[in-house]
Amino acid sequence: MTGAGGEAAAQVGGEQPGEALGARAAEGVRLAGYTTLLLGGLAGRFVEALSERDVVEAVRGADAAGEPVLVLGRGSNLVVADAGFPGTVVRIATRGVEIRWDQHDRGTVLLRAAAGEDWDKIVARCVADGLVGVECLAGIPGLAGATPIQNVGAYGQEVAETIIRVRALDRVSGRVVMLDGAACGFGYRMSMFKRRPGHFVILDATFKLDPGRLSRPIRYAELASSLGVTAGQRVPLGEVRDAVLELRRGKAMVLDPADPDSRSAGSFFTNPVLEPDQLASFEDAVRRRLGPGSTFPRFPAPGGGLKVPAAWLIEHAGFGKGYAAWGARISSRHTLALTNPGGGTTAGLVALAREIRDAVLDVFGITLVAEPVFVGVEL
């Protein structure tokens, strides 16, 4: 399919998602080279899975041998212990994208992507081909198979809005299963996969997109301002992607080897959602910290309650951009990103995260929740 108007399916890389290509295994691989933080010790055994069959066989084999398994994508949301991981690390490197019209709804298009496909390249292709629904998710440094786990979202969009199916290996039954969007249990930066860590290994995901050249209505105020439009307007897809990338680069949220601030795991903490019974005590804490009449930014949360920016809480608990301790640092451009400026350790990064979390709890009575997945270390 060369665009939204084509009839035939097309693949990226010449194979259908999951076609067998072969695997590579090694020992003594340092995981720091496979995470965006550039932190983490040695893997007991490292398998690069180039096909779906490789993924399934590597995980089943390790499970049968009683070995711990770490499934690794781009490592953009991962904090790995300095001691490394003693079991088998399966790095997902599968390829293949299939695009076709939805047989049940001829007005929409289905895009099925192998778990190892680069997410930003998928977004770029959707924008180029006139497929609407993921344009605000440009520049996110991860793989397609990781997006359902975190329910990846940015600038007013989440993958939960477009994912209709996920194929995964159920490690308990040993079978490959198909899960619809509802079964994925999506929530704010949450899914059934995240609630049940290690139970499933995602093999591919299918997204339902709309053909067109204009974006979905712009929801996020910062993005609307950058585009020079009001919330609710639709904008050409390419303009949305360019604006999102510019905003992300301004916050060092696009990977750049020359930029130490991009050596992070993205936003380290989620924005807390306050229920009505928490609001009064939080308002009291704000007034005690900032003085009578002080207020705070807030936004309605999709499931109810009010979402408070974690960055605001961190800054007003006393941590500014560029704050450094234990060899780790808050990004000089984005308070929510904790970075490895070079020569740091996972232990140091976690110590900084604990200091921030404990201070926010002490000042505002709110416990920040970390976004990344921790391997061999706890916050």
Mean pLDDT of 161-186: 97
> Confidence class of residue 159 from pLDDT cuts 50, 70 and 90?
very high
Average pLDDT, the chain: 92
CATH number of the domain that 66 lies in? Answer: 3.30.43.10
**pLDDT above 60 (res 17):** no
Residue 358 has a pLDDT of 98
Instruction: Out of 250, 274, 294, pick the residue that ends a domain.
Output: 250
Cβ partners under 8 Å of residue 73, min gap 6 = 91, 92, 115, 116, 142, 143, 145, 146
**pLDDT above 70 (res 175):** yes
User: For the whole prediction, is pTM greater than 0.85?
Assistant: yes
Q: Are residues 124 and 196 in the same domain?
A: yes
Instruction: Out of 65, 92, 119, pick the residue that ends a domain.
Output: 92
> What total number of domains does the chain contain?
3
Q: Is residue 246 part of a domain?
A: yes
Q: Are residues 231 and 266 in the same domain?
A: no
Lowest mean pLDDT among 32-36, 102-106, 162-166: 102-106
pLDDT tens figures, 128-154: 999 999 999 999 999 999 999 999 999
**pLDDT above 90 (res 33):** yes
**pLDDT above 80 (res 116):** yes
Q: Are residues 191 and 306 in the same domain?
A: no
Give the gyration radius of the chain's Cα atoms: 21
> Confidence class of residue 106 from pLDDT cuts 50, 70 and 90?
confident
> Confidence class of residue 1 from pLDDT cuts 50, 70 and 90?
very low
Active site residues: 189, 267, 371
Express as a percent the part of the chain with pLDDT over 70: 94
Q: Is residue 18 part of a domain?
A: no
CATH number of the domain that 164 lies in? Answer: 3.30.465.10
pLDDT tens figures, 233-273: 999 999 999 999 999 999 988 888 888 999 999 999 999 99
Q: Which domain holds residue 65?
A: 23-92
Q: Are residues 122 and 208 in the same domain?
A: yes
Mean pLDDT of 208-229: 97
Residue 22 has a pLDDT of 57
Q: Is residue 285 part of a domain?
A: yes
Residue 255 has a pLDDT of 85
More confident of the two residues 310 and 7 = 310
